[in-house]
């Protein structure tokens, strides 16, 4: 089991334990019911649960056992493959095995660039057929009809799954309220339930209507195309969900002890403790985050490169790099939350109940734990939720510049970095014109040197322009 697998599974266990505690506590249950009565909140929860389920399935890693060597005897030790797989890899085995040679467009049958192909015994330059994209079609003319039929089948399956889920919700409502199933279904359709379950049903229908055709098309095509090495982009996007969840969760966990502890202690004790904490987060905030994180990641990479014997497989190596990246993001990102908690603690320490506890001789540690901390939890929740997406963005930026997660691990930043190389020679949507500013001189008797400025050349070099009579071309800046 990898380090990041432990984080994801531990998060799942903690969520289950906390859910049981909510069920057992009337106060917590009432507070969460207020949250779930909001349509946006409950619909967002459905989407988060879906993506977290993908992350959990992708966190169940294993290594396949290799067959015993011939003549080795029955007492030989079991050997395992060096390739680490997950349950998601097994479920999407077609996308794993369907590797092409290079780029291809979404839902394409042929490659993105021309290649030398044997056509009826003759070598021609044409767009080659993909090995795993529409391979069951005999002619390109059948592509549109097959895609439309597959989308219709996937949409039908998606709607069926959504209807079954809605029936399950109606059955839960009927059992809870002790009414008939049809009455509960009618309440669900009319939106007369305690929670906005109709919004949940609509969200499930929308998700099934989107992912149903996508999963159906993924059985025969590369839905989002392939990258430079021929890997399926849709598969990479699903694998990147786990990386994003691990980075957001583990980095937040690494941030909280320093931010909460130092913020509350400095705000309550004041004096030299406050001055030391202020000095620490002021110095940390004065350094650009991206540069500081990049420097720490490069030092960590040197350690990994000089100790290759610590890792049995490439997956363990990339997972340790991901784990240390999360720790670095957490240890360099606690200053903002610490500053907020310090200011809030200074305000709370002047309130009457804190002053009364101090007058009765309650210890400072107990006051900070029992009276200060519960009243700053709202700031912790708001800040961590907002920083969750920022931490994922940090990973994307770092992976884009080449100092993020290991290149062998799928991530959104790594996908953007790989796509950059394709957009450089042939940009999509934005045409970048690279030219040079040329000076048109006139070779006259008076020796006038410069006549016209700002003429732009679209060609790579001004020397390639056709010579003009009685003029000379001189480049100010090379292309």
Name the percent of the chain lying above pLDDT 70: 86
Report residue 472: phi and psi, to 5°: -130, 145
Residue 291, judged by CB atoms within 10 A of its CB (0-12, 13-18, 19+), counts as exposed
Residue 283 near residue 54 (C-beta atoms within 8 A): no
Cα atoms in the 13 Å half-sphere on the side-chain side of 126 = 11
- From the CB of residue 320, how many other CB atoms can be counted at a distance below 10 Å? 20
What is the per-residue pLDDT for 165?
93
- From the CB of residue 468, how many other CB atoms can be counted at a distance below 10 Å? 9
Model pTM score? 0.77
The string of DSSP letters for 200-211 reads: HHHHHHHHHHHH
C-alpha dist (Å) from residue 11 to 1, 41, 123 = 15, 20, 57
pLDDT in tens, 391-417: 888 777 887 777 778 888 888 888 887
What is the per-residue pLDDT for 424?
53
What is the per-residue pLDDT for 4?
83
Cα torsion 295, 296, 300, 303: sign: positive
Q: What is the DSSP letter of 66?
A: P
- From the CB of residue 276, how many other CB atoms can be counted at a distance below 10 Å? 11
Render each residue's pLDDT in the chain as its tens digit; 479 residues. Answer: 788 888 889 889 999 999 999 989 898 889 889 888 999 999 999 999 999 999 999 988 888 877 777 666 666 777 777 788 889 988 888 888 888 888 888 988 888 888 877 777 778 788 888 888 888 888 888 889 999 999 999 999 999 999 999 999 999 999 988 888 899 999 988 888 888 999 999 999 999 999 999 999 998 899 998 888 888 899 999 999 988 888 888 888 888 888 999 999 999 988 898 899 999 989 888 888 778 888 888 888 888 888 878 877 778 888 888 888 888 888 888 888 999 999 999 999 888 888 898 888 889 889 998 889 989 998 998 888 888 888 888 777 887 777 778 888 888 888 887 777 665 544 443 333 333 333 333 334 334 433 333 333 333 333 444 444 443 333 333 43
| Helix intervals (H) in 401-453 | 412-423
Domain residue spans of the chain:
1-62, 107-223, 235-423, 436-475
Q: Name all contacts of 31-37 with Cβ < 8 Å and 24+ positions apart.
A: 33/194, 33/195, 36/195, 37/194, 37/195, 37/196
C-alpha dist (Å) from residue 48 to 52, 245, 252, 368 = 6, 10, 17, 33
Give dist(CA 274, CA 264) in Å, integer: 10
- b/e map of 139-170 (b: 16 or more CB within 10 Å)? eeeebeebbeebbeebbeebeebbeebbeebb
pLDDT in tens, 431-450: 333 333 333 333 343 344 33
Report residue 219: phi and psi, to 5°: -75, -15
Q: Residue 62: which H helix or E strand, with range?
A: strand 61-65
Q: What is the 3-state secondary structure (H, E, C) of 306-356?
A: HCHHHCCCHHHHHHHHHHHHHHHHHHCCCHHHHHHHHHHHHHHCCCHHHHH
Cα atoms in the 13 Å half-sphere on the side-chain side of 188 = 23
What is the per-residue pLDDT for 307?
80
Give dist(CA 146, CA 66) in Å, integer: 40
Residue 185 near residue 172 (C-beta atoms within 8 A): no
Provide the residue count of the chain: 479
Q: What is the DSSP letter of 465?
A: S
C-alpha dist (Å) from residue 214 to 69, 91, 223, 325, 477 = 42, 15, 7, 32, 49
What lies within 8 Å, CB to CB, of 384 at 6+ separation is: 252, 255, 256, 337
Q: Which fold has domain 235-423?
A: MetI-like fold (1.10.3720)
Of 415, 413, 460, 455, the closest CA to residue 437 belongs to 455
What is the per-residue pLDDT for 251?
87
């Amino acid at each position: 089991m990898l380090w990041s697998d432990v984080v994801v599974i531990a998060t799942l266990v903690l969520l289950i334990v906390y859910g049981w505690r909510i069920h057992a506590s009337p106060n917590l249950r009432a507070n969460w019911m207020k949250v779930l009565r909001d349509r946006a909140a409950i619909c967002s929860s459905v989407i988060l649960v879906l993506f977290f389920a993908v992350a959990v399935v992708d966190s169940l890693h294993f290594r396949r056992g290799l067959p015993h060597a011939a003549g080795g005897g029955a007492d030989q030790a079991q050997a395992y493959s060096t390739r680490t797989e997950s349950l998601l890899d097994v479920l999407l085995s077609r996308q794993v095995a369907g590797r092409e040679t290079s780029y291809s467009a979404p839902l394409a049958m042929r490659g993105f660039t021309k290649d030398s192909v044997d056509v009826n015994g003759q070598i021609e330059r044409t767009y080659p057929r993909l090995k795993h994209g529409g391979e069951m079609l005999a002619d390109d003319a059948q592509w549109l009809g097959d895609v439309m039929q597959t989308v219709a089948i996937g949409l039908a399956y998606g709607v069926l799954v959504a209807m079954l889920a809605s029936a399950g919700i109606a059955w839960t409502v009927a059992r809870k309220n002790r009414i008939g199933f049809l009455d509960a279904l009618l309440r669900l359709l009319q939106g007369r339930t305690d929670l906005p379950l109709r919004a949940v049903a609509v969200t499930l229908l929308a998700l099934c209507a989107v992912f149903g055709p996508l999963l159906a098309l993924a059985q025969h095509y590369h839905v989002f195309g392939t990258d430079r090495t021929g890997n399926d982009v849709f598969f990479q996007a699903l694998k990147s969900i786990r990386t994003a969840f691990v980075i957001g969760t583990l980095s937040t966990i690494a941030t909280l002890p320093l931010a909460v502890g130092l913020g509350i202690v400095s705000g309550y004790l004041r004096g030299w403790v406050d001055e030391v904490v202020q000095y620490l987060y002021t110095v940390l905030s004065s350094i650009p985050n991206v540069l500081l994180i990049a420097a720490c990641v490069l030092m960590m990479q040197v350690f990994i490169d000089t100790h290759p014997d610590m890792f049995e497989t490439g997956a363990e190596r990339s997972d340790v790099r991901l784990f240390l990246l999360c720790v670095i993001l957490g240890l360099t990102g606690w200053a903002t939350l610490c500053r907020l908690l310090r200011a809030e603690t200074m305000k709370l320490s002047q309130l009457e109940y804190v002053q009364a506890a101090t007058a009765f001789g309650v210890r400072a540690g107990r006051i900070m734990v029992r009276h200060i901390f519960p009243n700053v939890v709202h700031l912790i929740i708001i800040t961590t939720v907002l920083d969750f997406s920022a931490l994922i963005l940090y990973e994307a930026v770092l992976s884009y510049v080449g100092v993020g997660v290991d290149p062998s691990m799928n991530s959104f930043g790594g996908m953007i970095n790989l796509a950059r190389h394709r957009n450089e020679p042939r940009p999509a949507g934005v045409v970048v014109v690279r030219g040079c500013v040329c000076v048109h001189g006139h070779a006259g008797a008076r020796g006038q040197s410069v006549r016209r400025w700002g003429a732009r050349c679209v060609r790579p070099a001004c020397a390639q322009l056709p010579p003009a009579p009685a003029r000379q071309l001189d480049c100010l800046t090379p292309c």
